[in-house]
């Protein structure tokens, strides 16, 4: 049977503090965040929600079986 539910995501937090880092050559660089990066969550949202829903259902099945034993 299909399972339907509603969910919401809060915007991904962007760290607006300058962060020290290094580039591929080992040179020191400073990372500066610009704008909002909410778009990057969208491609990962569906598999994350499906996986979490599967884990919760599996957990409930195991709990139900252990309660009957």
For the segment 4-35, what is each residue's pLDDT rounded down to a tens digit?
Answer: 888 887 777 777 788 899 999 999 999 887 76
Domain with 64 in it? 19-68
Residue 69 pLDDT > 70: no
| Distance, CA of 50 to CA of 58 (rounded, Å) | 12
* Residue 12 belongs to a domain: no
Report whether 18 contacts 31 (CB < 8 A): yes
Q: Which two tokens stand for residue 66?
A: 């252990």
* Residue 30 belongs to a domain: yes
* Residue 13 belongs to a domain: no
Q: What is the pLDDT of residue 38?
A: 58
How sure is the predictor about 54, in pLDDT bands with cuts at 50, 70 and 90?
Answer: very high
* Residue 8 belongs to a domain: no
Pairs from 42-46 (Cβ < 8 Å, separation ≥ 24): 45/9
Number of domains in the chain: 1
* Residue 36 belongs to a domain: yes
* Residue 1 belongs to a domain: no
* Residue 7 belongs to a domain: no
* Residue 4 belongs to a domain: no
């Amino acid at each position: 049977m299909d399972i339907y539910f509603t969910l919401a995501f809060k915007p991904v937090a962007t760290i607006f503090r300058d962060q020290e880092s290094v580039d591929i050559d080992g040179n020191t660089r400073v990372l500066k965040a610009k704008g909002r990066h909410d778009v990057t969550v969208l491609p990962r949202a569906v598999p994350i929600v499906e996986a979490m829903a599967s884990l919760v259902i599996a957990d409930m099945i195991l709990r139900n079986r252990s309660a009957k034993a």
